[in-house]
Amino acid sequence: MFEPRVEKLRGEMRHPGLDAAILTSEPNMLYLSGYSAVSLERLIALLIFREQDKSCLIVPELERERAEENCKLQGVEILSYRDNENPVSILVGLLSKNRVSSLGVEGSTPYRFIYPLHSSQPPITLSLIDDIMYSLRIVKDEREVECLEKAAEINNKLLIDAVNHVKPGLSERDLASFVRARALELGADEVAFVLIQSGSNSALPHQEPTTRKISSGDIVLFDIGIRYMGYYSDITRTVTYDKPLPRQQEIFEIVERSQSEALSKISEGARAQEIDGEARRIITEAGYGRFFIHRTGHGLGLEVHEPPYIREGNLQELRRSMVFTVEPGIYLAGEFGVRLEDNVIVSGNGYRNLTKLPKSLQIKDYA
């Protein structure tokens, strides 16, 4: 599974003339090798050479056993170092030995690991490879789709349980604590985030849960991201505890219609901006365009936010097995906000919705 991915990377390295590529981000290492770790103060890096059937994984000694167990890339050489050794010296030595003069790096790689390469002899030219890696990852294979389907299945169940746990007097933080614990019980490997916003807080799209207690009649917005086998689901629903007020219902119906029309534009060959444009058109025609303050969606995969970005100006054509969110919203400062977010996969002339949840303001509809 991993060897074909590495070969595709090698093919993409030929045009810019890269002799090698170094990957330090968790998503890209996981995608190419099956092993993942976060490179913080200790260097953890996967080094891929273009013209040789050769790759190296550099890890601290404390990671060696886990790397040997989890790295599934055939033929990879695992090189470990102790804390009294300089891993960058190992990296420089490998590059020099293999006569690397042009190296692909990720923009997220800590600069302290890259800076010494500027003064290496012979000098090494550095080029960003983020776009190359995203181009490889943007279309999901069968196994990836299965993982994304399972992540969405877990998140669907989680949202149902979360909505039904709402009651007056419960704080946003208390509700978030319930959601985090329940996510693991349902099979999530990790909780990426839990945004629960009630009342006027729901007009702040990235507001973390607070001690604010839910009151009767409040809008309550849930935006929950979970991870399963490395892959993410990100779903949003908005409800009210009691019967919705007319203004709440009006805004909800506009957002629901916006999402529905945007979804109808999804097909292989459609451009990302067309989906965004349709969502934005509905909200703008209803008189709330300036209150829709973010893009319509983002890709899902080994990162919870990755290409394709469903936004104005993105001319990228949608391809079969791309997976992304569709999440229009309206945010009325000091009052409330409404957002609906589904996870979809492009399938030929349409899409398949991985989000199997009601679209209703009323909690009773989530029973």
Low-confidence ranges of the chain (pLDDT < 70): none
Q: Using one digit for the tens of pLDDT, what is the confidence trace for 90-142?
A: 999 999 999 999 999 999 999 889 888 877 777 899 999 999 999 999 999 99
Tell me what pLDDT residue 367 has.
Answer: 86
The per-residue pLDDT for 348 is: 82
Structural domains in the chain, sorted by start: 2-137 (3.40.350.10), 142-366 (3.90.230.10)
* pLDDT reported for residue 119: 76
Q: What is the pLDDT of residue 52?
A: 82
- pLDDT of 255 reads 99
Dist CA 361 CA 349 (whole Å): 30
- pLDDT given for residue 41 in this prediction: 87
pLDDT at 115: 87
Give the model's pLDDT for residue 192. 98
102-105 vs 20-23, strand pairing mode = parallel
The per-residue pLDDT for 142 is 97
* Overall pTM > 0.75: yes
> What confidence score (pLDDT) does residue 145 get?
98
- What pLDDT, on a 0 to 100 scale, did the predictor assign at position 39? 77
